[in-house]
Structure 1
Amino acid sequence: MADQSDATRADLLRENVVEKLVARGEIVSDEVERVMRGIPRHLFTPEASLDDAYSAYNAVVTKRNASGVAVSSVSAPQVQAFMLEQADVRPGMRVLEVGSGGLNAAYLAELVGDRGEVTSVDIDAEVTDRAARLLKEYGYPQVRVVTGDAHGGVPDHAPYDRIIVTVGAWDIPVAWITQLVDRGRLVVPLRMRGLMRSVAFQRVGDHLVSTSARICGFVPMQGIGAHESQVLLITGTDEVTLRFDDGLPTEPSLLDNAVRTPRAELWTGVTIRRGVPVDTLQLFMATALPGFCTMSVNPDLDSGLVAPYNRRFSLASVSEDGRNFAYLTPRPAADAAFFEYGVHALGPEAEAFAERVAGFLITWDRKHRGGPGPRIAVYPAGTPDTRLSHPPGSRVLEKAHSRVVLSWPEHPAGRGDSEYASEKEIDRHV
């Protein structure tokens, strides 16, 4: 009787989460709605309670390392929904999934149908054993589960119409391009200067061009594709930590003097309504600022040296000469429905550096706000500049195996706030 009651409750929870995602526009196609309604999510997340399994915006951690850090998970329903929509998987397609959990592979198997193929690869044998067992137990023995480093793709079953990556990637290996059919699609949580976006790419010849990007968070890639960011403790303790994704400043010790100077504060008049996402602002600042990094403050050691709105995560930058640093922070505006953005800076030229950083913020507000975000292209490492499609103002991120080019179309009518997220999301991502 209890089992029947649990099954009925699970059905209701599944219906509720799908209805919520449809209402919010995360699910837009009949196909994705069908598979997310039809497959019992809780069967693939036995580690979780029914409430946790069907939480719309929370992943279920399935494995942690010895330090307690999550190394494998089943993504939140919201993230699975929009990544499936980004992928646009159709019947008869051949699909490679990088990162095995079981549930997403089951969704893919339903989408490709009897004429399609799904291959799921993960570097961790414990993870693939779990995924293969659950897939077989719940009706998807045809999904091919492979243990191996996905840096090389899975050439034995290539080419693929779609490659969907469900772990955070700092780089795009060449195999993910060459094993994709021309005009095929790669969906990958790509880390760019410390910010992660689920980017849908289309293969065009020897490179990739983006079609959409969504803010997301994933456990990081292991194996050859692993990449550690570098941290700088600017006070000699972990009170204030700057995190760099592409290398530390040339002379980090120069910032020791910056913390001994008065803090300059500059408010820009740029306001954003509470509840409006700031993901394009983040990416623009990350690609525009030469010394971009992110800043966090240890609340137990906080002396007030810096005063960000969000102590866990703030956009920051170090000047080219390495002597000044600044960070973006919002404050409640006169109209309580809005935040006003400003810049705090420390260093011998703090006021001038604050003005420079504020200039980029104002440029985003006037030319790119409300726009579609950047066009992102990925070329193999070593591709000469003459073959890159990058208009003036583009930013080229040099990775180990790829060159990532971000360019921003102007959107002068973009001051309208058209998309909404929760205030919690703004707090988390500012």
Structure 2
Amino acid sequence: MSLRTALIVLTVVSVTADTMILPFYPQFFAQAFDVHSQAHVGYYLAACCISVMLAFPVWAKIARRVHELPLWVITQTLAGLLGIACYFSQSLWQFWLLSQLMLCLKASYLMIYPYVLRLEERDKHLGMVGLFAVLMQLGGILGAVVGGALLEHYSARSLYLWMAASDGLQVLVCGYLMWRLRQGWQAPQSEQSTPTRGWTPHVIRLGLLAMVFYCAAFFIRPFFTPYWQSLNPDSALAAVSISGWLFSLPGWVALLGLWVNQKRPGSDDHAQVLLLAMLYGCVGLWLQASADSALLTIGRIIYAWALFQITVRLELWLFAHSEPQFYGQDFSKLHLMQNVGVILASMTVGHWVSAWGYASTFVVASVGLLLCALCLLWWRQSDSRNAQPSHS
């Protein structure tokens, strides 16, 4: 198994394991701690985002001194032990503390992404970024499917034991790679000598776009399946399996997007691709707000394609204006801004739905995408005006 293939397998395993419980936190808190508050679930998800958001830049800095492979061996070993501790936790505050510490350790695995990109030639970055976008989507779908299947036979609390087992598998794979590559503890000298870089104007712009975009994207996620079921209350379309398939459409569309990117080279004008995707993404969101099941399905497909394009292009544009030695630092900043958007969505969507209903979430998300498009258009025009004197 090559290093690249092993890292891709590790990504799939980690994303699948870490998302097994994500759709089932209401059941988990109800079974394990007799907590039935939907607001509590939202606050817990927001806390999870904050933990990962704060921990990832720390791991990016540590990875400048310690090679990623031995670092992952340590962090995933400790994360597995904390997962077992979560299974045996007896009080709610203990679970919160242990699970957040576990997520802080698991955040080190986000370093796989910039690590793999450092191994690839720049002209292959589009395919690699698209591949990781697909892996994240499919890992989330597979995690939900596996988690649902396990819940039919085991308690919700037991999912933490399965997650700990996956951590053990990841440790074994990393240990094997260290042995095969004869990899020591120290990071390459080029990484150690890399200076710390602050927020560049390009990273700030992309970070702001990512914050608004991810806030909009996550605003429609928590209540999509009950919204679909409310449109077809007396129909076979209201089945949980049907709503689950519709929810997972972005993952399947991402597979198509990966195949398209491999068959034909994409445009190097990332801003143009982003702008178009944001505009037809708005159309897809508006169609999903309709009460017609057929229009909703069409809108879901359109939005799914926009979601794939925006996710890939934001990161590809980031790396296009970065250098390999700064990949980890710049990606950690973009990831921080993404999580700010997710946190904002998690903290507000429940209250918004209570006041305005399910369909309104799609309207809010479309406004968010439109705002992104307007900002991007303004930046493009501003850059064009600033560049004109240099050509005269």
TM over 0.5: no
Higher percent of residues as helix: 2
Task: Point out the structure with max Rg over C-alpha.
Answer: 1
* TM-score normalised by structure 1 residue count: 0.22
* TM-score normalised by structure 2 residue count: 0.24
Higher percent of residues as strand: 1
